[in-house]
Chain A
Amino acid sequence: MNAVNPLPSGERLFISGNEAVARGAWGAGCKVMAAYPGTPATEILEYASRLPEMYSEWSVNEKVSLEICIGASLAGSRALCAMKHVGMNVASDALMTQTLIGVGGGLVIAIADDVGLSSSQNEQDSRFWGRFAHVPVLEPSDAQEAYDLTRFAFDLSEQFDTPVILRMTTRICHVKGVVGTSERRPFNSGVGFKKDPARLVMIPTNAKHRIPLMYQREERLQQYSEGSDLNFFKEGSDKRVGFVTSGPVFMHIQEAYPEAPILKLGMSYPVPMEKIREFASQVEQLVVAEEVEPILEGEIKAAGIQALGKEILPRIGELAPQVLRPAIGRLLGEAPPQEEPAPPRRALADLPEVKVPLPAPGSNLFPRPPTMCVACPHLGIYYCLSKIRNKAISGDIGCYTLGAGHPWNALDTTICMGASMGVAHGLDKGRTDVDKNQKIIAVIGDSTFMHMGMQGLLDITYNKGNVTILLLDNRAVGMTGGQDNPGSGRDIHGEESPRVNFVKLCEALGVKPERIHEVNPYELPTMFKALREEVKVNDTSVIITNQPCVLVDFYAAKPPLRVEDDKCTGCKNCLDVGCPAIYVTRRETVIKPNGKEKELAFVRIESSACTGCNLCPATCGPDAIIPVENFIRQ
């Protein structure tokens, strides 16, 4: 990741939307920032942690991060929490009552929707939260707006006594652009925590009084939105189609249709419906281009304004120019672009109906999905799991989710953070006679466990369940880039922090001491033994693996290995480990004595990639894998 220099304000920087949010919050005098890592929002707190005069932390989950920011806000300081879209699901319990309470210092919730699913279990449209919680939603359309709107969000929050949602997408978070910044304004409200139980203690009698206030606030925000220049018309000479849009789609539309009139919503909730009505009267057809759900479209139609939306545009993925052009082209009754004689590859890119004799180059290319790293400590775990019979493996979210792929195919479910625990317990208690002897195994990482798995484990022990749990402690929040957590022993600044003892934690949560094992996942025989024994026991067991993620600094590479060609029998056992440093040199088909065909694959190890974790030698019958002599790592 690029080094961050806290340059003096007033500079033009080339930064991503995430960094722009961090700098914008800092520029507005934000004092507290908290988050749990999650693509595409992770970098917001990473950048924030390097900025001075701010408290920033990795929280154990998004609900706690929002609660911390609520506390900071009520204490009289500005606070921002950041999360990916599913993180908001976790934090929503806090938001739904916080909206009744209001704020002290400004409270901003940055939610990053992973539109396009770069790394998520689903797509969600976080603009719904604005409606559900009756709070305003601001949407930047590039990094500059991410900066400007973040700064503004705190002012809006205090002016209207409301939390404010800053809604971003992957295309904002992970795109770097030129951003002009301004001087930092320290925030000194001059007030501290105001004791006001009627407002802050939400028992029914108090809450009942707050609900009408929340609705009145929403009406005032509605008026504000109608008059705000965050919602503006971009003039266009081609009146055949006018677009109502927000977020990065604003840029895509301008790219695809430079002459189109656009109503751009920077404050997309509450909806400035009269502005939309005025705009609709100026164009022939109104198209609502929104990512991803037809939220605005439904509201516009309910207001009696004719519009098109998801009848012509998709409900999944990005509305990039190459998605907009065909859809709008069809709407306008335009013929598909005429083809001059051009190489087949262009024809297929634009006109799927045109028959071309040759397939486009690269059209049947192999996929290259993400996979576990060379020497990943999870490789051995999944190798073992793949060898166990009659099992169901309840999985969770992290690098270890990749165990569902080839060659291991050893993960059966992944739903949401911590679900591995509850789902495993449910698979056991709900089992039918068909699965009488099925072993139930759950796999969860350390960060996921501390996020929401602990509660599930407590449920299992309290209700006397029978699940074998693999707790993969690699001392990092791996998939998002190796951030620190309460298991790594370091805080967000890299300073020493109390480190969770998972053995004691599991014991405290009710697992019997003799059912808890700490295992080095590179030692396959020990791993196998522990697994095989514990799945036979009718009780809850936890097998904790204790080797660090290879991408964090706790990991130390060892001298690499290589394959002795003449000893390799092509048995492919080592390939079942799934390490990307093992390559096939040649394949052969032989006939076995019983007449059946057998596929052999002879292998080599890429020494420049291998870090000598010693997993594959344990799988090699002929002992063909040996250390490389005199190796010097570059």
Chain B
Amino acid sequence: MSESKITNILVAGIGGQGVMTAAEVLAQTALAQGYDVKKTEVAGMAQRGGVVTSHVRFGAKVLSPAIPPGEVDILVGFEPAESLRWCTHLRADGVAMVSTTRQEPPVVSLGLFDYPEDPVAQMREAKINMHAFDAGAIAQSLGNFRLVNTVMLGAISEYLPFPPEVLKNVILERFRQRKPKLVAVNEQAFEAGRLAQAEN
């Protein structure tokens, strides 16, 4: 990786899915690796069913905190329509990690708008490099829907400029400090995410 290279990660989803937590973990991992890091946050709207995004940028020196469109290296999409919404911000050689768990907003339930039939297919047609799998189902199979953000972090770990174990250890250490009983299942979730990325 050249010295001037900045890694740009866009985490996108809906309030309650762990978007901000995932972004925070990525930021903390990059910090621990000695990078300069900037991370944007969303306040308030996150809990009201609105779109939640966080830009995480790290490198030798990060200036503007917002990732310019067309410069996203990794899009972490917690929901397929939200992944579609942001996929145009990816670099040509960027990658999208998409969880296929759909979540329809009230404006769709009310019949005012349609939910696209197949957002994943639309992204594939547009030649987006991507891995798509149901991270929500994986989390549920491990016993808790909230594991979805560890699953997603495991899935992108292969694309980061440091070994996957580094990210895994940051996650597990967080749980060791706050909720030691959840360390084991989060390790499983991380590995399940890695497997999902390899297989999809």
The reply to whether B49 and A583 contact each other, CB–CB distance below 8 Å, is no
A175-B38, A254-B63 known; A368+B111 contact, CB < 8 A: no
Whether, in the assembled complex, A92 has its beta carbon less than 8 Å from a beta carbon of chain B, the answer is no
One of A96-104, A439-447, A574-582 at the interface: A574-582
- B residues near A343, Cβ cutoff 8 Å: 92, 126-127
Q: In the complex, A480 Cα to B113 Cα: how many Å? A: 28
- A residues near B146, Cβ cutoff 8 Å: 634
A368-B49, A371-B48 known; A361+B43 contact, CB < 8 A: no
Interface string of A128-154 (1 = CB under 8 A from B): 000000000000001000000000000
Whether, in the assembled complex, A362 has its beta carbon less than 8 Å from a beta carbon of chain B, the answer is yes
- Given A252-B64, A318-B66: 8 more A-B contacts, CB < 8 Å: A42-B43, A43-B43, A178-B31, A251-B65, A348-B88, A368-B82, A369-B50, A369-B105
19 contacts between A and B (CB under 8 A): A174-B42, A174-B43, A177-B38, A318-B66, A321-B66, A322-B68, A342-B92, A343-B127, A349-B69, A349-B70, A360-B126, A362-B85, A362-B87, A362-B88, A366-B115, A368-B105, A371-B105, A372-B48, A580-B49
Whether, in the assembled complex, B1 has its beta carbon less than 8 Å from a beta carbon of chain A, the answer is no
Interface residue total, chain A, C-beta cutoff 8 A:
68
Q: Which of B47-97 contact A (CB under 8 A)?
A: 47-51, 62-66, 68-70, 81-82, 84-89, 92
Q: In the complex, A481 Cα to B84 Cα: how many Å? A: 29
Q: In the complex, A178 Cα to B112 Cα: how many Å? A: 44
Q: In the complex, A371 Cα to B50 Cα: how many Å? A: 7
Residue of A nearest to B48 (CB): A370
Whether, in the assembled complex, A14 has its beta carbon less than 8 Å from a beta carbon of chain B, the answer is yes
B residues touching A (Cβ–Cβ < 8 Å)? 14, 24, 27-28, 31, 36-45, 47-51, 62-66, 68-70, 81-82, 84-89, 92, 104-116, 119, 122-123, 125-128, 144-146
One of A64-72, A386-394, A399-407 at the interface: A399-407
The reply to whether B44 and A479 contact each other, CB–CB distance below 8 Å, is yes
Q: In the complex, A601 Cα to B126 Cα: how many Å? A: 33
Q: Give the residue among B37, B62, B66, B144 with the most A Cβ atoms within 10 A.
A: B66
Q: Which of B36, B41, B119 contacts A175 (CB 8 A)?
A: B41
Query: How many interface contacts (CB-CB < 8 Å) are there between A and B?
Result: 183
Q: In the complex, A496 Cα to B70 Cα: how many Å? A: 51
Q: In the complex, A201 Cα to B48 Cα: how many Å? A: 47
Q: Which of A321, A373, A481, A578 contacts B68 (CB 8 A)?
A: A321
The reply to whether B48 and A587 contact each other, CB–CB distance below 8 Å, is no
Residue of A nearest to B114 (CB): A366
Whether, in the assembled complex, A599 has its beta carbon less than 8 Å from a beta carbon of chain B, the answer is yes
- A residues near B37, Cβ cutoff 8 Å: 14, 176-178
- B residues near A399, Cβ cutoff 8 Å: 48
- B residues near A42, Cβ cutoff 8 Å: 43
Tell me how far the C-beta of A320 lies from the nearest C-beta in chain B, rounded to whole angstroms. Answer: 5
- B residues near A314, Cβ cutoff 8 Å: none
Q: In the complex, A587 Cα to B107 Cα: how many Å? A: 15
The reply to whether A320 and B44 contact each other, CB–CB distance below 8 Å, is no
Q: Which of A582-603 contact B (CB under 8 A)?
A: 582-584, 587, 599, 601, 603
Q: In the complex, A369 Cα to B106 Cα: how many Å? A: 9
Residue of A nearest to B102 (CB): A583
Residue of A nearest to B40 (CB): A175
Whether, in the assembled complex, A350 has its beta carbon less than 8 Å from a beta carbon of chain B, the answer is yes
- A residues near B84, Cβ cutoff 8 Å: 361-362, 365
Q: In the complex, A202 Cα to B64 Cα: how many Å? A: 45
Interface string of A83-109 (1 = CB under 8 A from B): 000000000000000000000000000
Q: Which of B40, B42, B82, B109 contacts A584 (CB 8 A)?
A: B109
The reply to whether B63 and A345 contact each other, CB–CB distance below 8 Å, is no
Tell me how far the C-beta of A190 lies from the nearest C-beta in chain B, rounded to whole angstroms. Answer: 40
The reply to whether B38 and A368 contact each other, CB–CB distance below 8 Å, is no
- A residues near B41, Cβ cutoff 8 Å: 16, 174-176
Q: Which of A43, A321, A551, A580 contacts B106 (CB 8 A)?
A: A580
- B residues near A634, Cβ cutoff 8 Å: 144-146
Whether, in the assembled complex, A455 has its beta carbon less than 8 Å from a beta carbon of chain B, the answer is no
- A residues near B116, Cβ cutoff 8 Å: 365
- A residues near B50, Cβ cutoff 8 Å: 368-371
Q: Which of A377-414 contact B (CB under 8 A)?
A: 399, 402, 406-407
- A residues near B63, Cβ cutoff 8 Å: 251-252, 254-255
Tell me how far the C-beta of B120 lies from the nearest C-beta in chain A, rounded to whole angstroms. Answer: 11
- B residues near A603, Cβ cutoff 8 Å: 109
- B residues near A407, Cβ cutoff 8 Å: 106, 110
Whether, in the assembled complex, A367 has its beta carbon less than 8 Å from a beta carbon of chain B, the answer is yes
Q: In the complex, A484 Cα to B65 Cα: how many Å? A: 31
Residue of A nearest to B88 (CB): A345
A175-B40, A368-B14 known; A601+B65 contact, CB < 8 A: no
The reply to whether B70 and A346 contact each other, CB–CB distance below 8 Å, is yes
Whether, in the assembled complex, A121 has its beta carbon less than 8 Å from a beta carbon of chain B, the answer is no
The reply to whether B109 and A174 contact each other, CB–CB distance below 8 Å, is no
- A residues near B66, Cβ cutoff 8 Å: 171, 252, 318, 320-321
Q: In the complex, A444 Cα to B53 Cα: how many Å? A: 30
Tell me how far the C-beta of A588 lies from the nearest C-beta in chain B, rounded to whole angstroms. Answer: 12
- A residues near B39, Cβ cutoff 8 Å: 175-177
